Amino acid sequence: MKLLVTGGAGYIGSHTIKHLKKNGFSDIVVLDNLENGHAKVCEMLGVEVIKSDLRDFQSLKSLNSKYQFEACLHFAAYASVGESVKDPLKYFLNNYVGSLNLLNYLISKNCKYFVLSSTSEVYGEAEYLPIDENHPLNPTNPYGVSKKMVEDILKWFDSAYGLKFAALRYFNAAGCDVDGEIGELHNPENHLIPNAILAALGKKEFKLTCAKVDTPDNTPIRDYVHVDDLADAHVRALKYLANGGVSDFFNLGTGKGYSVLEVVNAVEKISSKILPKEYGEARAGEPAQKFASNQKARKILMWNPKYNLEDMVKTTYDFLGRN
């Protein structure tokens, strides 16, 4: 099976490529504009990288005819909630228009299977917890809206063109490759765990960028899921579709929520450093608490997340300490 992986030079995409290769998927081409991704990671993983931007449909049309992809795993997207509130146009052009261009290209090439990197932000504020796939979709920020729009496209493309898809709505990706080979290197870095660790390593200042909310310690609660567990789910979703599975939506989370202060405490424990608890400018558009029901992914994809919060912090601490 020849695979196209968009955004494969990025954080979750690169970890998924490593898991794909471990599972016998060796014919992989990465499409990435390298705005946030790292070409050296793909070189290390031994996969071909084509530098191209999904917003430019002509560049997709010009891809050599030798590329006849049977399946696509789509990671290429902007993914910052706060930035999407400040610059929604950027998110709709890249996440929505870029995805539509990609799907247009794939349909023309008779691609059969599509795995979407989606998000729990499609749900918006939690009306009940844990959130399952039947929860109403009411995103509260442009990032979540852009992903919901792509999910809606996929339903129609399945009906009209027979493109089978799995939309994986993951909660908060965290951690680094348990083998220590690849990890999380964003610039700028907006994620809580690496920011707290970089502060513990003396590499940057640290402030809480969350709003004070109605939770036990007044900080937001999120479901953190290890990137290697996410990568494993993508491989399972691809196999599920290839074995005749119907198009569907799946939550990827551990089913347990941790508050921002609990995460900071975990970083302090691993690093043996005390971090400041001063509040900075709060990011907009983020609900108070959100954690998943993952029963559907467990039952249908046979997915069983292995790693806990301590593993996520430890693997990130080790990787950033070396890089």
Cα→Cα distances 150→8, 48, 96, 265, Å: 19, 26, 6, 37
pLDDT in tens, 112-166: 999 999 999 999 999 999 999 999 999 999 999 999 999 999 999 999 999 999 9
Fold of 192-222+255-322: UDP-galactose 4-epimerase; domain 1 (3.90.25)
Is the predicted pLDDT of residue 286 greater than 70, yes or no? no
Q: Can you say how many angstroms the Cα of residue 190 is from the centroid of all Cα atoms in its chain?
A: 14
Q: Which residue has the tokens 């917890």?
A: 129
For residue 185, what pLDDT is reported?
A: 79
Reported for 53-60, long-range contacts at CB under 8 A and 24+ positions apart, including other chains, are: 53/98, 54/6, 54/94, 54/98, 54/99, 54/101, 54/102, 55/93, 55/94, 55/97, 55/98, 55/101, 56/101, 57/101, 57/104, 57/105, 60/101, 60/102, 60/104, 60/105
CB 304, CB 233: distance < 8 Å: no
Q: Count CB neighbours of 309 within 10 A.
A: 21
Is the predicted pLDDT of residue 285 greater than 80, yes or no? no
Catalytic residue among 143, 240, 258, 317: 143
Q: What are phi and psi of 40, to 5 degrees?
A: -65, -30
Is the predicted pLDDT of residue 65 greater than 70, yes or no? no
- The three-class DSSP label of residue 81 is helix
Superfamily of domain 3-174+225-252: NAD(P)-binding Rossmann-like Domain (3.40.50.720)
Q: Is the peptide bond before 130 cis (omega within 30 degrees of 0)?
A: yes
The two three-digit tokens of residue 315, written as one number: 């693997």
Is the predicted pLDDT of residue 284 greater than 70, yes or no? no
Counting residues of the chain whose pLDDT is more than 70, the rounded percentage is 98
The answer to whether 11 is a known catalytic residue is: no
Is the predicted pLDDT of residue 267 greater than 90, yes or no? yes
- The three-class DSSP label of residue 159 is helix
Q: Which strands make up the sheet holding 3-6, listed edge to edge?
A: 48-51, 28-32, 3-6, 71-74, 113-119, 164-170, 248-252
CB 290, CB 224: distance < 8 Å: no
The two three-digit tokens of residue 159, written as one number: 């009906």
Domain ranges of the chain: 3-174+225-252, 192-222+255-322
pLDDT in tens, 170-200: 999 999 999 999 998 777 778 899 999 999 9
Rounded to the nearest integer, the mean pLDDT of the chain is: 94
The one-letter amino acid code at 9 reads A
Is the predicted pLDDT of residue 263 greater than 90, yes or no? yes
